[in-house]
Amino acid sequence: MAMEARPQVFINHGGNDLSDYFVRELATALRDQGFNVFIGSDERGARRGIKYIFRAIESSDVALVIFSDMYAASEWCLHEAVRIYDRHREGKLVLVPIYYRVSKEDVNMFQGRFGECFVKTLKTRGINGHPFADIWKTNVNLICTEPGFTSKDFCNIDVIFMVAMVHWVKRRLRSRNLPSDIDMFIPKQLEPQEGFGKELL
């Protein structure tokens, strides 16, 4: 009897920024729970090409779009997000936006360091003439309308944030036809404990 294929999670993030260590730990936790994990930034570094990455998105069950201050510094990262939302809109992929040490408002409005990185990316071809500028902005705005996780809701304590996401992914894949229930995984009150993540605040 053939073994059932393990569900695949695609992680879309900027790479080489504050979110990088978090992404590595999250990927390990997901693999420990029986998921295949594909990290887009790894394949960018391996120079496999955007078509290879798009095929990985198309074969994934869940995509985690991890926004951080430096997210928009990568054109490939923004291209991946467009394909992810396309698949989500077609009903073929569960999409979860994650705001890691950045506010949803800054991402949605292209403010703060997130916005500064986006402007720098546009300037690579001239800010008034980048062919994907409007597509990227619209796509980010659409992703921000989806239910997601914000690290601030977990007092920026990575381990608690990570555990909540892993549990949500497991629950969501077991009940794909049910409404998204992210709110039940967000703590109503969470105070950092001495010696446990307090130094991260």
Q: Tell me which residues are annotated as active site.
A: 80
Mention every residue, 6+ apart, whose C-beta is less than 8 A from residue 151.
Answer: 98, 99, 100, 101, 158, 161
d(CA 133, CA 194): 44
Locate the DSSP E strands across the chain. Answer: 8-13, 36-39, 62-67, 94-99, 149-150
Locate the DSSP E strands across 24-113. Answer: 36-39, 62-67, 94-99
d(CA 115, CA 40): 21
d(CA 127, CA 105): 22
Q: Is the dihedral of CA 93, 115, 141, 80 positive or negative?
A: negative
